[in-house]
Amino acid sequence: MLRLPPRPILTWKEIAAAAREFSDEKDLVSRSYPLDVEEIAECDLGMEIRLASGVLDEFGSPAQIAPGDGNPVITVDSDQYRQQSSFYRYSVAHEIGHHVLHGDWLAKVWQLVTSVET
């Protein structure tokens, strides 16, 4: 049975501090609003964004973050992209948040899953 490493539980203060640090590091306050979440994901973090049909039905959420070739990939349900651009933006930002807050943990999980598959 695959045993995942324990995921750190963050307090609201830790989450706020990580968000503030990310904002300062990427100088988000100087950018025009609304923030371009695609630019943040792709240019600032080197992530790839993909659209795919059936993500919501298959996984129960409109977006997923997964390992890619060197950098994480955010896959968003294509219906969410077409129907609700603000919800699409939220979904991308939400997955960026997972990366920022839990990136080290995600990398360990992905490495573990990859080692089991090979």
Instruction: List, for residues 74-108, the tens digit of each pLDDT value.
Output: 999 999 888 877 889 999 999 999 999 998 999 88
**Could you tell me if residue 31 is inside a domain?**
yes
109: domain range? Answer: 12-117
**What total of structural domains would you count in the chain?**
1
6 in a structural domain: no
**Cβ distance 103 to 46 under 8 Å?**
no
pLDDT grade, residue 63 (50/70/90)? very high
- Residue 26 inside a domain? The answer is yes
Long-range contacts, 36-39 (Cβ 8 Å, 24+) = 37/89, 37/92, 37/93, 37/96, 38/92
Report if residue 60 sits inside a domain. yes
Q: Is residue 99 part of a domain?
A: yes
Look at residue 65 and tell me if it is in a domain.
Answer: yes
* Interatomic CA distance for residues 49 and 33, integer angstroms: 20
Tens-place pLDDT, residues 4-41: 888 889 999 999 999 999 999 999 999 999 999 999 99
Residues 47, 49, 55, 61, CA torsion sign: positive
The torsion angles phi and psi of 81, rounded to 5 degrees, stand at -65, -45
Is residue 47 in some structural domain? yes
Task: Provide the pLDDT confidence category of residue 117 given band limits of 50, 70 and 90.
Answer: low
Domain assignment of residue 3, yes or no: no
